[in-house]
């Protein structure tokens, strides 16, 4: 898999919200927010300042609760290995200060320079996607074509290594998009057909990306926003808006050219909501997005109670400078 070498400095994540990219920008209707990833070097976003700390959380999750963080079908190993090969080509090119790859084929090693850890590829021959997840800040999911496709169910989860973004992997393995996204209000009505079409047409060298966001009650990055008891407890709370945290996800989809599996990456960023004082356009964007959502979607985003919704909207509005009429 060839990687473009021209680098840029993408604004992650608040710069994109500041530019009006919320992922939920059509009032009354759920939209995918997918865009073509025109600069392939932006595929994986590694932040040197947080790299070691976040990989330590990955290591903790994949060691102490691996049964919650990693699940894979046995016949997905070839696709996992193809994903790892792509990572080991891309990462040292894009981030030479963070990665060093040595050796060839099964004798390769990858050293993460931020942590000083060296991993032998051979040690993960049974679970290459786990090694992928241990060396990048993204969560990773592999999707494959269904063996018995229908108009609604065309792609299923084949493997996942997830620490930060969502849970219930054991229930989602082998399940189609509609099942995986069942908690998302409006998915079946507004998005199921579109995403199936997107997956069908996704080309190996034409990845796509989108933003996603949620409001949570704490700054614990490795407490997933969806699919855990803690996440359910979080969204029912009524808290002062300025004490909440904004969780933003940068997601990409790309097809692996050899196996044809689709790799879904989720890079999770977590900031106190007060960071929006520096990004008034992002605050306005989120307020507009929130106003256009259905009540179930507001709850899904972390605001169940009407009081909590009203207070958050008032807070976001307070951060947006008013423009005097001429």
Q: Who wins on pLDDT, 182 or 180? A: 180
Range with lowest mean pLDDT among 2-6, 146-150, 282-286, 296-300: 2-6
Range with lowest mean pLDDT among 57-61, 117-121, 212-216: 212-216
In a domain, 3, yes or no: no
Closest CA to 196 of 155, 255, 158: 155
Residue 247 CA to residue 250 CA, distance in Å, equals 10
Instruction: Locate 52 and state its tokens.
Output: 């070691």
In a domain, 74, yes or no: yes
Range with lowest mean pLDDT among 64-68, 86-90, 184-188: 184-188
Q: Is a pLDDT exceeding 60 seen at residue 3?
A: no
In a domain, 8, yes or no: no
In a domain, 76, yes or no: yes
Q: What is the mean pLDDT of residues 265-279?
A: 94
**Number of structural domains, the chain?**
1
In a domain, 309, yes or no: yes
pTM for this model (two decimals): 0.88
In a domain, 324, yes or no: no
Q: Is a pLDDT exceeding 50 seen at residue 2?
A: no
Q: Is a pLDDT exceeding 50 seen at residue 326?
A: no
Can you give the residue range of the structural domain that contains 127? 14-318
Residue 3 CA to residue 86 CA, distance in Å, equals 9
Q: Could you tell me where the DSSP H helices lie in 202-252?
A: 229-235
How far is the CA of 12 from the CAs of 116, 134, 210, 277, 290, in angstroms? 25, 21, 12, 17, 21
In a domain, 7, yes or no: no
Give the pLDDT score at 15. Answer: 77
In a domain, 223, yes or no: yes
Residue 168, Ramachandran bin (φ over 0: left; ψ between -120 and 50: alpha; else beta): left
Phi, psi of 87 (to 5 degrees): -65, -45
Report strand pairing: 35-36 vs 208-216: antiparallel
């Amino acid at each position: 898999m060839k990687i473009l070498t021209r680098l840029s400095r993408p604004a992650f994540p608040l710069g994109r919200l500041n530019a009006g990219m919320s992922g939920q920008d059509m009032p009354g209707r759920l939209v995918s927010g997918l865009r073509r990833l025109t600069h392939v070097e932006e595929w994986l976003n590694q932040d040197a300042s947080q790299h070691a700390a976040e990989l330590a959380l990955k290591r903790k999750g994949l060691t102490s609760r691996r049964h919650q963080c990693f699940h894979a079908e046995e016949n997905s190993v070839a696709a996992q290995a193809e994903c790892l090969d792509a990572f080991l080509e891309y990462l040292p090119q894009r981030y030479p200060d963070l990665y060093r790859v040595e050796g060839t084929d099964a004798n390769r090693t990858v050293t993460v320079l931020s942590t000083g850890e060296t991993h032998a590829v051979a040690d993960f021959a049974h679970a290459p996607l786990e090694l992928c997840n241990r060396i990048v800040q993204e969560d990773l999911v592999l999707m494959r074509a269904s063996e018995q496709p229908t108009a609604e169910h065309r792609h299923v989860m084949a493997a996942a290594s997830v620490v930060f973004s969502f849970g219930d992997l054991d229930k989602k393995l082998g399940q189609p998009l509609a099942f995986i996204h069942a908690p998302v209000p409006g998915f079946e009505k507004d998005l199921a057909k579109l995403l199936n079409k997107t997956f069908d047409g996704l080309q190996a060298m034409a990845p796509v990306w989108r933003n996603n966001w949620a409001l949570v009650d704490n700054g614990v990055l490795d407490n997933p926003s969806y699919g855990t008891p803690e996440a359910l407890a979080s969204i029912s709370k009524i808290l002062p808006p300025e004490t909440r945290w904004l969780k933003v996800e940068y997601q990409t989809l790309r097809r692996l050219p050899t196996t044809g599996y689709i790799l879904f990456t989720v890079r999770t960023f977590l900031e106190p909501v007060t960071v929006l004082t520096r990004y008034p356009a992002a605050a306005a964007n989120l307020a507009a997005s929130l106003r256009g959502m259905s009540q179930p979607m507001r709850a899904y985003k972390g605001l169940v109670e009407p009081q909590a919704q009203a207070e958050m909207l008032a807070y976001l509005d307070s951060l947006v400078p008013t423009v005097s009429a001429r």
